[in-house]
Amino acid sequence: MDEYLDWIFIIAFFSCLILFPFGIILSVNSCIAAARTRAWKKKQAAEADNIEAEPLNREEEDDFLDTEDEEDYHAQKAEEQADKHLTTRQKFRKEFKKAWKGNAKDAQKQREREERRKLAKAVAREVERRERRRARQEQQAGGSSNEVEGLPSYNNAVASDRKE
């Protein structure tokens, strides 16, 4: 009889050694999924509360997307639209799967996308600045008396005020 108790104790001990790490990993992933689901539910409730205050055209398109980024952006928007019809339990299962698989690659892709977007915005600002400078130089070289967009220069405006 003592022998059976020893075997039962050994089996129970080793099953605890195996199941404990698995249980820890499972509980951590559950906490992550629950936090994401809570944030999603809170955002959904806030959107429902503020829907009357916002104008109908809420779509903001970003002009600084690459073709690959644009595809990802549209896929993300489609996923958000599909998520609007999920229940909390379904969203939790979805987030649990994402937490289990991990998202290190997604985070890296997101950082790279943000860097490219910032670079594209900086390039666009620089191009616009150069175009404005070129237009101003052409206007000054064209013989106009420093009038930009039909407005007199500061000196001319002050001089005309003094005459009156």
97-129: pLDDT as tens digits? 888 887 666 778 888 888 888 888 889 899 999
* pLDDT exceeds 90 at position 132: yes
Task: Report how far apart, in Å, the C-alpha atoms of 54 and of each of 48, 49, 60, 78, 88 are.
Answer: 11, 10, 13, 21, 25
pLDDT value of residue 155: 73
Of the two residues 154 and 110, the one the predictor is more confident about is 110
Asked if residues 94 and 35 have their Cβ atoms less than 8 Å apart, the reply is: no
Distance separating alpha carbons of residues 22 and 47, to the nearest angstrom: 37
pLDDT in tens, 39-74: 999 988 888 777 766 665 555 555 556 666 777 778
pLDDT value of residue 149: 59
Tokens of 114: 């943000």
Tokens of 36: 């994401």
Q: Which residues pair with 148 in a beta bridge?
A: 151
What percent of the chain is modeled with pLDDT above 70?
75
Q: Average pLDDT of 12-29?
A: 91
Distance separating alpha carbons of residues 92 and 33, to the nearest angstrom: 6
Is the pTM higher than 0.75? The answer reads: no
| Weakest-pLDDT range from 6-10, 51-55, 71-75, 80-84 | 51-55
Quote the mean pLDDT of the chain.
80
